[in-house]
Each structure stands twice: as structure tokens, then as C-alpha cells.
Amino acid sequence: AMAFFRASGYDARMLILIIITEDEFDRLKNRDPEVLDRLYREFKKPIFNFCIIKSRGRHDIAEEIASETFCAMIASAPTLKNCRNIQNWLLQIASRKLADFFRKEFRERRKLQSLRHDYQVDAHSAAPPDVEGAMETRKILLLNLALENVREKYRRLLRLKYLEGTSLDEIARMDGVPATTVNGLLVRARRELKREALRIAKRWDI
């Protein structure tokens, strides 16, 4: 039998020994649902605790990163070479996910500050509040931030179609694909843009 350790928290010094057989390890590499479920139940709390501490008590972020960690565990299970490294493997995944999240959050914060400066309304103006203008500014902020976060292939299409006014047929000729393919990609691009805009609006209270 092989063995790996489960941390009771993020502190690697606090360990409980769990036994996994050669057969279970092979099943893990083949993404066996029973073994994956066992790992999830055993490591759910330690990984969440690790994320809570690293995110300084932000429960929503900890839940999101912990969930992404286990999704990545399932995706990369076939590449695992040594079951004694499972604990470190999961903590490394969580650490990378946290680092990616905080880099993205930092970029969004700086971009938002820059955009707010560019589109701010003169607070000392004697004119009555321009509600319609404020709503338009909000949309511009959201779309600019969301556009930065969609995948590059979608960002390019959205810019060509909606910022530069390029037609579907023109984009299709540029890319050497049917216009129906471009249209399908634009549908997915708009869906991703909307999802990002909603996420950003909630996170930054725009």
C-alpha cells in the first residue's frame, strides 16, 4: 500500500495518515468517481482553510478557489506520478489559482481606477446630476474591464465587430472561415463578455 497525508488545516505540520492502495492510485489516475469523491471529502476542508488564510478571510474567494482547485485535480489526475505528493499537489494547485486570482484582481483595480479617472463627472459642477450620463459611464467602465478579461480570440472579434465596425463577411474573409462560423464565435464572445461584466459589477460594486 501507498500512503499520503491529509492536512487538518493549511499547516503541513498537522497531518493525518490516510492509506491508498496501488489499485486506488491507478483508479485515481483514471478519474474513478469513487476515489475522486473520497479525495474531495478528505481535502475539502484543508484546502478551503488554506484559501481562507491566504485570502485573508474572504470566504467567497476561498470557496471559488477551492472549487477551481478540485476541478483542476480532476483534469490533471492522469498526470500524477506519486500518490505521496497528493497533499502538496493540491496545495500547489490552490496556490497557483490564488496567485492568478490576485494578479487578475490587481489588474482590474488599476484599470478601474484609470477608467474612473478618465470618465469621472465633475463633482464641483453646478449642473444637475446627469443620471443618463452616469449610467452610460457605468456601462463604459464595465465593458472596458470585461473586454480585458475575455479570451483573446473573443476580444479580437468583439473589437473588430463592435469597435471597428467590421462586418461578419469581412471578418470571415480575413480569417478564411465561413460567416456562420464567425457568427457562432461572436455569440460565445458576447456570452463571455456578459458573464465577465456581471462578475466585475458584483465584485467592484459598479
> What are the domain boundaries of the chain?
2-104, 121-204
Q: With contact defined as beta carbons under 8 Å apart, do 168 and 183 qualify?
A: yes
Cα(3)–Cα(1) distance, integer angstroms? 7
pLDDT value, residue 139 = 78
If you classify domain 121-204 with CATH, what class do you get?
mainly alpha
Cα(158)–Cα(168) distance, integer angstroms? 11
pLDDT value, residue 99 = 94
Q: What is the 3-state secondary structure (H, E, C) of the chain?
A: CEEEEEECCCCCCCEEEEEECHHHHHHHHCCCHHHHHHHHHHHHHHHHHHHHHHCCCCHHHHHHHHHHHHHHHHHHHHHCCCHHHHHHHHHHHHHHHHHHHHHHHHHHHHHHHHHHHHHCCCCCCCCCCCHHHHHHHHHHHHHHHHHHHCCHHHHHHHHHHHHCCCCHHHHHHHHCCCHHHHHHHHHHHHHHHHHHHHHHHHHHCC
pTM above 0.75, yes or no: no
Range among 110-114, 128-132, 199-203 rated most confident: 199-203
> Region 110-123: what's the mean pLDDT?
64
pLDDT value, residue 97 = 94
The yes or no reply on domain 2-104 and CATH 1.10.3470 is no
Instruction: Say yes or no to pLDDT of 173 above 60.
Output: yes
pLDDT digits (tens, 9 = 90+) for 50-107: 999 999 899 989 998 999 999 999 998 898 887 667 888 889 999 999 999 999 888 8
pLDDT value, residue 83 = 67
Residues in the chain: 206
pLDDT value, residue 84 = 67
pLDDT digits (tens, 9 = 90+) for 119-149: 554 444 444 445 555 567 677 778 888 888 8
pLDDT band at residue 183 under the 50/70/90 scheme: very high
pLDDT value, residue 107 = 83
pLDDT value, residue 9 = 43
- Looking at residue 54, its amino acid is K
pLDDT digits (tens, 9 = 90+) for 11-30: 444 444 455 677 888 888 89
Q: What is the mean pLDDT of the chain?
A: 80
Which residues does residue 19 pair with via DSSP β-bridges, in sequence order? 3
pLDDT value, residue 119 = 58
